[in-house]
């Protein structure tokens, strides 16, 4: 981690993330009180945010995961979205909340959303920790956004650089030399 750490500039501290996650959790708990909620995380990037967010939502819920690949190994989206692992429970007639680390072009969530809507959930909403609105290539409705950020490549708190740096506890901007 040390070689790339020198190229990272802090963007969101652990404390800023924790405070915002709790606000999102409170808002989601209010919106889904009394409903049959299934929270679906998109692996791998979502893992720290998902663990923190679901524990901040003071409601009973089902948790489930999809594994999706969109970037391959570079810094740029390939535009091609693959479902590597699907959820393993039905969402028909239930309230589904998809949780993502970052919405960039929107292509990943566009595909995941259409796939899940075909299964006729009672409702489908999207929550993301980060959004880069200036990068959108397809419109996708995002209901809960932790932070809207400028067009930077960010790492940490789940977000990777070629598979690494996901375990950094904060979000930083990665600046290649
Ligand atoms: P989209 O399909 O919206 O273009 O991209 C979604 C996925 O691309 C995210 O789930 C994430 O895996 C990856 N991604 C987009 N922007 C960034 C970024 O700034 N940093 C990292 N590490 N991954 C990103
Ligand atoms: Mg992701
Ligand atoms: Mg990635």
CATH topology of domain 2-161: Rossmann fold (3.40.50)
Contact 128, 157 (CB under 8 A): no
What's phi and psi for 120, nearest 5 deg?
55, 55
CA–CA separation, 146 and 173 (whole Å): 16
pLDDT by residue (tens digit) across 134-160?
A: 999 999 999 999 999 999 999 999 999
Choice from 70, 111, 114, 133 to test ligand 1 binding pocket (greatest atom count within 8 A of CB):
70
ipTM: 0.97
CB of 101 closer than 6 angstroms to any ligand 1 atom:
yes
CA–CA separation, 79 and 71 (whole Å): 8
Give the domain ranges of the chain: 2-161
The answer to pTM > 0.90 is yes
Contact 147, 12 (CB under 8 A): yes
């Amino acid at each position: 981690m040390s070689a790339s750490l020198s190229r990272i500039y802090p963007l969101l501290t652990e404390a800023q993330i924790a405070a915002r996650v709790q606000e999102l959790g409170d808002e989601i708990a209010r919106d889904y009180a009394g409903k049959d909620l299934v929270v679906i995380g998109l692996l791998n990037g979502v893992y720290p945010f998902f663990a923190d967010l679901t524990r901040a939502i003071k409601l009973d819920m089902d948790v489930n995961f999809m594994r999706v690949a969109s970037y391959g190994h570079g810094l740029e989206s390939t535009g091609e979205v693959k479902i590597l692992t699907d959820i393993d429970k039905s969402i028909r007639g239930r309230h589904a909340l998809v949780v993502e680390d970052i919405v960039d072009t929107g292509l990943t969530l566009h595909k995941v959303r259409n796939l899940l809507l075909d299964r006729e959930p009672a409702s489908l909403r999207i929550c993301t920790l980060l959004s880069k609105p200036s990068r959108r290539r397809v419109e996708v409705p995002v209901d809960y956004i932790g932070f809207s950020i400028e067009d930077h490549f960010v790492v940490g708190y789940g977000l990777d650089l070629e598979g690494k740096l996901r375990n950094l506890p904060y979000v930083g901007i990665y600046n290649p030399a």
